[in-house]
């Protein structure tokens, strides 16, 4: 049975404070010396809002929500195994138990690879759904509202959306029998990979651009150019977009970002933005583009 590791709170507080410091030490100089948009300022519009998003999504969501879901999913999965045995499906329960035992005995790095691949498959599926479902898009539009991409823009997510994606990932870790600390390791990876992918930099990965998430790949996901709609959904492994036919890289770097209808700039207003009745043009365009994509297959 998984138990809450209260020491992890210090870990995530460290991520919050250390992340800001790391941004100042690594990402800001990177954006200054190798900028995609040289005219973009460090203290851009919406910066303070994104710092609040950063704090909420790294401490409140990553620690309290993920820890709670790990505890709950571990408990209920054990109950499920007992229930399956009790209602005449012992072999299914035994198979699931065998899977957990097999995975849990693998080397820590093997477990990390499994967690990385499964986690990104889950994120890809949700992310693609968020661009095709008008209700999920209302949440996801917050992330796409930034018009000046930089390392802190990576954290502009509605907390409900973060709870959904992080909870799904935590449940998968628990069900598969992976070491619970894999969630911490994935969080550490996210604290570097996500800001780099959104950074205001023209840094290129060369042929590795299809191996791991990078600015060139992810900037196109935020592009306002129509040909880039519903493309590049992977959060870590761009090869997933190659496999599922959603990869796109333009001949030149993407430079125009955001959505047409303005999302409020304050954090509190962004929290309630998904409840607003006003229809958003980009939401409709995303849905239309998605329909056209499906019908063309």
Cα 204-126-277 angle, rounded to 5 deg: 110
Q: What pLDDT is stored for residue 281 in this prediction? A: 46
Domain coverage including residue 102: 7-295
- Cβ–Cβ under 8 Å, residues 209 and 217: yes
Question: Is residue 148 a part of any domain in this protein?
Answer: yes
pLDDT of residue 170: 83
pLDDT digits (tens, 9 = 90+) for 237-249: 999 999 999 999 9
pLDDT of 293 reads: 43
Question: Which one is predicted more confidently, 231 or 187?
Answer: 231
How confident is the model at residue 3, as a pLDDT? 54
Contacts of 223 (CB under 8 A, 6+ apart): 250, 254, 256, 257
What pTM did the predictor assign? Answer: 0.83
* Strand (E) or helix (H) holding 246: none
Domains contained in the chain, number = 1
Q: Domain for residue 1, yes or no?
A: no
Most confident among 94-103, 208-217, 271-280 (mean pLDDT)? 208-217
Which structure tokens are listed for 221?
């996901």
Whether residue 16 lies inside any domain: the answer is yes
Please report whether residue 196 resides in a domain: yes
The predicted pLDDT at position 195 comes to: 93
Instruction: Please give the distance of CA 105 from its chain centroid, rounded to a whole number.
Output: 28
Q: Provide the pLDDT for residue 296.
A: 45
Closest CA relative to residue 40, chosen from 264, 297, 241, 256: 256
CB neighbourhood size of 9 (10 A): 14
Instruction: Assess if residue 277 is contained within a domain.
Output: yes
pLDDT at 167: 85
Residue 176, in any domain of the structure: yes
pLDDT at 294: 40
**What tens digit of pLDDT does each residue of 38-68 get?**
999 999 999 999 999 998 887 777 666 666 6
| 2 lies in some domain | no
Region 114-132 average pLDDT: 97
3-state secondary structure of 257: strand
Residue 281 and residue 54: Cα distance in Å, rounded? 27
Q: How many angstroms separate the CA atoms of 251 and 253, rounded? A: 7
Task: Judge contact between 182 and 173, C-beta under 8 A.
Answer: yes
274: which 2 tokens?
A: 């998904």
What token pair was written down for 263?
């999302």
pLDDT surpassing 60 at residue 181: yes
- What would the pLDDT profile of 76-111 be if each residue is shown by its tens digit? 666 666 666 566 666 666 677 788 889 999 999 999
Give dist(CA 198, CA 152) in Å, integer. 8
Domain presence at residue 188: yes
SS3 of 162-189: HHHHHHHHHHHHHHHCCCCCHHHHHHHH
Cα separation values, 143 from 32, 49, 81, 137, 207, Å = 23, 12, 38, 10, 28
Q: What is the pLDDT of residue 91?
A: 63
């Amino acid at each position: 049975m998984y138990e809450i590791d209260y020491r992890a709170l210090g870990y995530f507080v460290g991520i919050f404070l250390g992340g800001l410091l790391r941004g100042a030490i690594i990402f800001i100089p990177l954006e200054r010396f190798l900028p995609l948009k040289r005219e973009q300022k460090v203290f851009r519009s919406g910066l303070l809002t994104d710092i609040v998003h950063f704090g909420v999504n790294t401490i409140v969501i990553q620690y309290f929500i993920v820890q709670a879901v790990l505890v709950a999913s571990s408990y209920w999965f054990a109950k499920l195994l007992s229930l399956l045995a009790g209602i005449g499906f012992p072999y299914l329960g035994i198979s699931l138990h065998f899977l957990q035992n097999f995975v849990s005995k693998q080397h820590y790095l093997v477990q990390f690879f499994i967690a990385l691949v499964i986690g990104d498959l889950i994120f890809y599926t949700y992310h693609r759904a968020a661009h095709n479902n008008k209700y999920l898009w209302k949440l996801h539009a917050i992330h796409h509202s930034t018009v000046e991409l930089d390392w802190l823009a990576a954290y502009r997510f509605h907390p409900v959306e973060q709870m959904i994606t992080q909870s799904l990932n935590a449940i998968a870790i628990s069900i598969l029998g992976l070491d619970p600390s894999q969630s911490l390791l994935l969080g550490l990876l996210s604290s570097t990979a996500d800001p780099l992918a959104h950074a205001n930099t023209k840094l290129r990965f060369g042929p590795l651009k299809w191996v791991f998430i990078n600015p060139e790949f992810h900037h196109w996901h935020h592009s306002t150019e129509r040909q880039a709609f519903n493309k590049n959904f992977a959060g870590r492994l761009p090869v997933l977009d190659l496999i599922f036919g959603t990869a796109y890289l333009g001949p030149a770097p993407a430079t125009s970002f955001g959505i047409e209808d303005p999302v409020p700039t304050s954090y509190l207003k962004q929290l309630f933005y998904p409840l607003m009745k006003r229809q958003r043009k980009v939401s409709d365009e995303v849905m239309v583009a998605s329909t056209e994509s499906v019908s063309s297959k």
